[in-house]
Amino acid sequence: MAANYDAEPILKVEHMKQYFKMSSKFTVKAVDDVSFEIYPGETYGLVGESGSGKTTIGRGIIRLYDPTDGKITFNGIDISGKLTKEARTELRTKMQMIFQDPMASLNPRKKIGDIIGEGLDIHHNYASKEERKQHIDNILAKVGLAKEHYDRYPYQFSGGQRQRVGIARALIMNPDLIIADECISELDVSIQAQEVNLMKDIQAETGSAYLFIAHDLSMVKYISDRIGVLHLGRMLETGTTDEIFTNPIHPYTRSLLSAIPSPNPRTEKSRTAVAYDYATSGIDYDKGTLTHISGTHYVHGTEEEIAKWQAENN
């Protein structure tokens, strides 16, 4: 199933802010005024350097943090602020997360089957033990693991298999949105492709949307329909993958794209990385706003800045 842009967005993030108060004088603005939406069946990629707030956004949406300000709507239900019982159930069943480090996120003392089935147990989503077992076996098969794996422990699996367990655990609740936080960056190159293909196949089958958080731009480009570029807690540029990669406007985006080493020695010799330094660039993120360029392409900046950048690019 391809992304359905005519439908209502499944997730709507409006002016999300996430501040961490470190002391009475100092507050870290990890996420500052970020808005975006995700449509059913879509993959939205969040990229940015470490400390740009991409993980914080993911964690804020699934309410591992309490967002400081802003409104988050999921499936038409407000999930920011204090959660009602229905909102909590909706959030905890229909939104799932896959974590970066599969070893750290799997309980070493639990069997794989029980780790995957934990969501079912909590929400009592089955009538009998047989149904539960059946359900877990189906999910195991779907992510390319065998029934026999049910009784094994996390340490008996390879990195790629563990990540599959993470995916299976997310899938068992049949979620509408999966937040994948750097879920392939710890895997070997040859295994990464397997996992990404698996995620794509699952999306085609179940139609769930992904929020794909990563710093590997070539992988983000490959998997995402739309991309958001973050820097210092701000959304600097967002648009379809094509819009971002063929017509990057913000200097930070351009610097980011120019820095990707390509596995092609001939083009590599002529590639020059464009440097970008916020402190010396003369850009003030506080002054700019997210401005519409074309289609779904938005760039953060003042009118003069954007006009200047566009002139420079041509």
Told to check if 308 binds other proteins by CB under 8 A, we report no
Query: Considering only residues 53, 102, 119, 160, which one is a binding residue for other proteins as defined by CB under 8 A?
Result: 160
Q: 228, 303, 288, 284: which is closest to 13 by C-alpha?
A: 228
CA-CA distance, 246 to 165, in Å (whole number)? Answer: 36
The gap between the terminal CA atoms of the chain, to the nearest Å, is 37
Give the CA-trace dihedral at 264, 266, 269, 274, to 10 degrees.
-50
Whether 300 and 285 have beta carbons less than 8 Å apart is answered as yes
Q: Which is nearer to other proteins, 63 or 226 (CB)?
A: 226
Stretch that binds other proteins, among 90-98, 162-170, 216-224, 283-291 (CB under 8 A): 216-224
Query: Considering only residues 77, 83, 103, 193, which one is a binding residue for other proteins as defined by CB under 8 A?
Result: 193
> Taking the complex as a whole, how short is the minimal distance between the CB of residue 152 and other proteins, in angstroms?
15
Amino acid letter for position 242:
D
Told to check if 312 binds other proteins by CB under 8 A, we report no
89: number of CA atoms within 13 Å, CB side? 8
Q: Which is nearer to other proteins, 71 or 215 (CB)?
A: 215
Q: Are strands 209-213 and 43-47 parallel, antiparallel or unpaired?
A: parallel
CA-CA distance, 97 to 172, in Å (whole number)? Answer: 12
Site for other proteins in 35-64 (CB under 8 A): 49-50
> Taking the complex as a whole, how short is the minimal distance between the CB of residue 134 and other proteins, in angstroms?
27
> Taking the complex as a whole, how short is the minimal distance between the CB of residue 54 and other proteins, in angstroms?
11
Give the DSSP H or E segment for 12.
strand 11-21
Give the DSSP H or E segment for 220.
helix 217-223
Listing DSSP states for 145-196 in one string gives --GGGGG--GGGS-HHHHHHHHHHHHHTT--SEEEEESTTTTS-HHHHHHHH
> Taking the complex as a whole, how short is the minimal distance between the CB of residue 276 and other proteins, in angstroms?
7
> Taking the complex as a whole, how short is the minimal distance between the CB of residue 95 and other proteins, in angstroms?
25
Listing DSSP states for 42-88 in one string gives -EEEEE--TTSSHHHHHHHHTTSS--SEEEEEETTEE-SSSPPHHHH
Q: Which is nearer to other proteins, 62 or 235 (CB)?
A: 235
Q: Which is nearer to other proteins, 39 or 74 (CB)?
A: 39
Q: Could you tell me the two tokens for 280?
A: 């010396």
Told to check if 194 binds other proteins by CB under 8 A, we report yes
Site for other proteins in 246-285 (CB under 8 A): 255-256, 258-268, 271, 273, 275-276
Told to check if 145 binds other proteins by CB under 8 A, we report no
Told to check if 104 binds other proteins by CB under 8 A, we report no
Told to check if 28 binds other proteins by CB under 8 A, we report no
> Taking the complex as a whole, how short is the minimal distance between the CB of residue 306 and other proteins, in angstroms?
22
Q: Which is nearer to other proteins, 270 or 314 (CB)?
A: 270
Q: 181, 183, 189: which is closest to 165 by C-alpha?
A: 183
Q: 177, 174, 167: which is closest to 9 by C-alpha?
A: 177
> Taking the complex as a whole, how short is the minimal distance between the CB of residue 16 and other proteins, in angstroms?
23
Q: Which is nearer to other proteins, 96 or 163 (CB)?
A: 163
Q: Which is nearer to other proteins, 128 or 272 (CB)?
A: 272
> Taking the complex as a whole, how short is the minimal distance between the CB of residue 259 and other proteins, in angstroms?
4
Residues within the interface to other proteins (CB under 8 A): 49-50, 158-161, 188-194, 196-197, 200, 215, 217-219, 221-222, 245, 255-256, 258-268, 271, 273, 275-276
